[in-house]
């Protein structure tokens, strides 16, 4: 989610079109907000509170989505932003799930629960993110 440090928006060239530059490579690219995500992108309330996030990310239900997926550079597609944050019942963040559905955690209990999930979650379902959320919530975790 911290791709805000890796791209700069140099200027807006249309209502949903931007000239950008990759900070790491210096490569310029044109970002166009996906047509089906323009309304989502127009709501700036979440991004204004997350200054280190990629400026093209927005919350959608229980996940964070890329609003320029169709025109994002290859390295962004390979990176796969974080889509879920996992909090223990007592409120401390204990893990994250990235866009390839990989569990990122140092918490041994969550790692064990994640192992259980690997066996019961339908990883090919179109709504796999919802399956992951439901599974973790049933185990007592809070998902953002």
Per the structure, the count of domains in the chain is 2
Same-domain status, 13 and 62: yes
Same-domain status, 28 and 62: yes
Same-domain status, 58 and 87: no
Same-domain status, 25 and 66: yes
Give the list of residues 6+ apart from residue 53 with CB closer than 8 angstroms, or none: 1, 2, 3, 4, 47, 64
Same-domain status, 22 and 51: yes
For the entire predicted model, the pTM comes to 0.55
The model's pLDDT over 113-122, given as tens digits with 9 standing for 90+, comes to 998 888 888 8
Owning domain of residue 103? 82-143
Same-domain status, 87 and 75: no
pLDDT band at 134 (very low <50, low <70, confident <90, very high): very high
Same-domain status, 43 and 32: yes
Same-domain status, 36 and 11: yes
pLDDT at 1 over 60: no
The model's pLDDT over 5-50, given as tens digits with 9 standing for 90+, comes to 467 889 999 999 999 987 777 888 899 999 999 999 999 998 887 7
Domain boundary among 57, 79, 101: 79
Domain boundary among 53, 79, 105: 79
Instruction: Provide long-range contacts, Cβ within 8 A and 24+ apart, for 23-28.
Output: 24/75, 25/75, 27/73
Length of the chain: 144
**pLDDT for residue 2:** 40
Same-domain status, 45 and 91: no
Return the minimum-mean-pLDDT range out of 15-24, 57-66, 110-119, 130-139.
Answer: 57-66
């Amino acid at each position: 989610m911290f791709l805000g440090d890796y791209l700069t928006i140099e200027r807006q060239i249309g209502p949903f079109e931007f000239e950008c530059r990759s900070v790491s490579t210096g490569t310029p690219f044109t970002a166009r907000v996906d047509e089906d995500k323009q309304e989502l992108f127009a709501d700036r309330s979440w991004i204004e509170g997350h200054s280190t996030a990629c400026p093209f990310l927005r919350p959608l239900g229980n996940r964070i989505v890329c609003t320029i997926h169709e025109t994002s550079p290859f390295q962004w597609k390979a990176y796969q932003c974080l889509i879920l944050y996992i909090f223990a019942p007592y409120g401390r963040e204990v893990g994250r799930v990235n866009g390839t559905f990989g569990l990122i955690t140092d918490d041994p209990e969550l790692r064990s629960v994640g192992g259980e999930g690997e066996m019961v979650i339908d990883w090919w379902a179109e709504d796999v993110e919802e399956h992951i959320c439901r599974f973790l919530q049933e185990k007592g975790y809070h998902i953002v």
